[in-house]
Each structure stands twice: as structure tokens, then as C-alpha cells.
Amino acid sequence: MDMLQIIAELAQKTPSKILLVVLDGVGGLPQGPGGPTELAAAHTPNLDELARESALGLLTPVYPGLAPGSGPGHLALFGYDPFRYLVGRGALSAIGIGADFKDGDVAVRGNFATLDESGRVVDRRAGRPSNEENARVVGKLGSAIQELEGVRVSFYTESEHRFVVVLRGEGLGEQVTDTDPQKTGVAPALAQAKAADAQSQRTARVLNLLAERIRAVLSDEPRINGALFRGVSLKPRFPQMSEVYQLRPACIASYPMYKGLASLVGMEVLPVEGVEDALEGKLKALRESWDRFDFFYLHFKKTDAAGEDGNFAEKVKKIEAFDRLLPELLALKPEVLAITGDHSTPSALRAHSWHPVPLLLRAPWLRNDPTQRFTEDEAARGSLGHLRGVELMPLLLAHAGKLQKYGA
């Protein structure tokens, strides 16, 4: 039986509030043998004080040895088995930005990239252009490419180097391989998107043609001169958190993909003022909506971005910026507070990794815990032990008094 069905039978409404803070990609590695991780190197007096009155543990987001994408990593944190509830990056981004994305459409996540004359990838993110530059290039593509082989093509800005393509037409499937090689110095898989079933052959053919057309349209651009595709996906349908957990859930996030994830599981996505990933804007949204909801998912992205850029010092700074914000979160007095990550993104690897992430839980009825700091090493000593991502949500509900006894 799906664990969500069991939880749905036990869930009950209570007035207690749960705050789940996700520091994206927060787990790290030492820069060299014997050195500190980014968390250990950061000056975090508020997190340290909180750790001393909380319980810590390690959390494997999806499965040991698997480096998860943000989609499965987050779904697991929300209690959805990521091997059962599958969703592509394209659908998440399309839903998150509010694209015109209907049943039967296929959404694709794109990266603007810099390619050399031979077609090799020089920069997978084209220097992380501004959102304004992204919008300019998306407008250029939208004017030049509107239909391919009878399939309507729509382009949307997501953020920085990220964009979304929505394909609309008959006979489109989602079982198509990515064209993003996930590394530089190699040729993108242009004209090599492959369909895994007959239903997806038309999608693969259109994407291959689209990659060629994009490169031609952007041939006069100095840096954004190619596109890499991944996450080809149809629009999915998931059980809603309000029905499964008896919660009134809300999402506070800036990046479209995470808002898309939250929407899929039934969270209300709250507006955030300010620039992308603005900490103060998120705190304002949380304060103003505190009385309306009993579950809040609060997301911070820049820890992950710094890790992917290989910037150890910048990731430390982003952790410290969150630490300065922490007292204002604690002032809201959530009955249950959890702080963790959806995956590790060590700056030494410049990518998502398979390493467990630290988990902090402040809640009623905790056991004694010897931990002193919110770091990977301290979390390994914590009383929560080592959990899988899907085990977090039942733990939060239990500490909030929102689960009845299981069995006679």
C-alpha cells in the first residue's frame, strides 16, 4: 500500500503549525582532506544555539548512492515516494511560471548555453544571464519559431539561463532523452534526442529540429548561442496535501520549479516581493500569512547555486545570510520547525551529490541530543539517526499532534 494512503487514514486537524525550511543543496564536502564543509566553515551563532535545543540527524533524500534532482528530492520531503510519483523538470517549471500548459502538452526545461564553433559546450549556463537578457532572447526565439512540423512551440522565461518550451500538438509523448550532457567540453546531444516509445517519437523529432533552429536564430549572439534540453514531461496529477495530511499548506519560494512542485501537491503559492530569492520578501510573506495556514514550506535557493558554481566562500556567505534571518523565523514560534536540504551540492563537485543532508528538528517531546552545531558531522551524532526523505513528513505530523495511533 502507498504510505500516503496510510497517513491519510491517520491524519487529523490540529491548530499547531509546521515550518519546513529547505536550504537547497545545503550539504557539502571539505575543500581538502581534513577541512571543514561549507556548513562547518560558516559563522552561524543562531543555528548553533538552535541546534543545542533541537534534535539532529542525517537524511538521505531519495536513496543511498543516488544524486537526486530537486524534483525527487523535494517530493520525498513532502512525503511522496519519488519512485512512485514521477514528474519531469519541464512540467515543474511550466507549472511554476504559470505557462499555458494543458493536458496533452509537453513541457521541456531549457538551458541557454554557450557553444563553440564546433558545437561543444563551453558554458552550460551561458554566464548566468540576467532575467532581462533571458526575456530578450526568449522574445527573439518566439518571433522566429512558432511551429515545427505542425506542433505549436511556445517559449517562456524562467530565470537567468533557464527557459521553458511548451509543445502542443497531436501524438506527443514524454519518454524522450535529454540533450543536456551535464558537463562542458563535449558536444550537446543535438539531433540525438531519442524516444523510448512509439508515442514519443514525434516529440523527439520536433526537439531535435528545435535545437537546430534555435542555434541558427541565435548565431549572431555573442554568448547565448545554443540550448540544452532536459526534463521532457506531460502534466501530472498528484494526491493533494490538504486531503492526505488534513493540512492548509503554503509555499514561499522564488524559483518557478519549486513553486511548480508545491502547486502539484496542493500548496498555495504565496507571492514574494523583491528580487529573486529575496530573504526579506520571503519573511514578509511568511509573517503576513502566518494565521491562514498550518504548514509552510520555505525555500532558499542560493546555497545550491553557489555550490553548482564551485564557489565555497559564496556558499558559506549564503548560509550565514540565512543564519542572520533565523531569529525572525523563530519569533513566529512554530510548534514544529525543521531545517534541511533537498540534496547536497558540494562546491568541490559543482553538482548535486549522493551525500546525506543534515536535518534539524525543534519540536515538543524530543529526546536528549548531544549536538552543538548544524553541520554534517554533528548531525551524524544526533538522536534522530539516519532517515530517508519520505520519512520526514510523518515525523513532522507526529510531533505536531496531527497523527492518530496506527492499528489496534
Residue-level pLDDT at 235: 87
Same structural domain for residues 37 and 133?
no
Are residue 249 and residue 226 in the same domain, yes or no?
A: no
CATH number of the domain bearing residue 266:
3.40.720.10
Q: 127 with 69, same domain?
A: no
Q: Domain check: are 255 and 392 in the same one?
A: yes
Are 391 and 261 part of one and the same domain?
A: yes
Residue 203 CA to residue 180 CA, distance in Å, equals: 16
Residues 229 and 247 in one domain: no
Q: Is residue 150 packed enough to be buried (19+ CB in 10 Å), middle (13-18) or exposed (0-12)?
A: exposed
Instruction: Give, to the nearest 10 degrees, the angle between helix 312-330 and helix 279-288.
Output: 20
Question: Residue 119 is placed in which grid cell?
Answer: 558545437
pLDDT of the residue at 318? 96
> Nine-digit cell at 376?
554534517
Question: Is 406 inside a domain boundary?
Answer: no
User: Domain tally for the chain?
Assistant: 2
Q: What is the pLDDT along the chain (408 residues), one digit of tens a residue?
A: 689 999 999 999 999 999 999 999 999 999 888 899 999 999 999 999 999 999 999 999 999 999 999 989 999 999 999 999 988 889 988 988 889 998 899 999 999 999 888 778 888 898 889 999 999 999 999 999 999 999 999 999 998 999 999 999 999 999 999 888 877 776 654 548 888 888 899 999 999 999 999 999 999 999 999 999 989 999 888 999 999 999 999 999 988 889 989 999 999 999 998 766 678 899 999 999 999 999 999 999 999 999 999 999 999 999 999 999 999 999 999 999 999 999 999 999 999 999 999 999 999 999 999 999 999 999 999 999 999 999 999 999 999 999 999 998
Q: Which of 233, 251, 284 is the last residue of a domain?
A: 233
Domain-located, residue 100: yes
Are 58 and 123 part of one and the same domain? no
What integer pLDDT is reported at residue 187 of this predicted model? 66
Asked whether residue 229 is domain-assigned, the answer is: yes
User: Is 54 contained in some domain?
Assistant: yes
145 belongs to a structural domain? yes
Supply 249's cell numbers: 499548506
Is 405 within a domain?
no
- The model's pTM is 0.80
Pair (245, 175) in one structural domain? no
pLDDT of residue 405: 95
Residue 408 domain-assigned (yes or no): no
- In this structure, is residue 365 part of a structural domain? yes
Does residue 249 share a domain with residue 221? no
Same domain flag for 140 and 27: no
Same domain, 101 and 69: no
Q: Which of 233, 258, 283 is at the close of a domain?
A: 233
Q: Same domain, yes or no, for 270 and 314?
A: yes
Enclosing domain of residue 374: 3-84+238-399
Residue after which a domain boundary falls, among 215, 233, 251: 233
Residue 1 pLDDT: 63
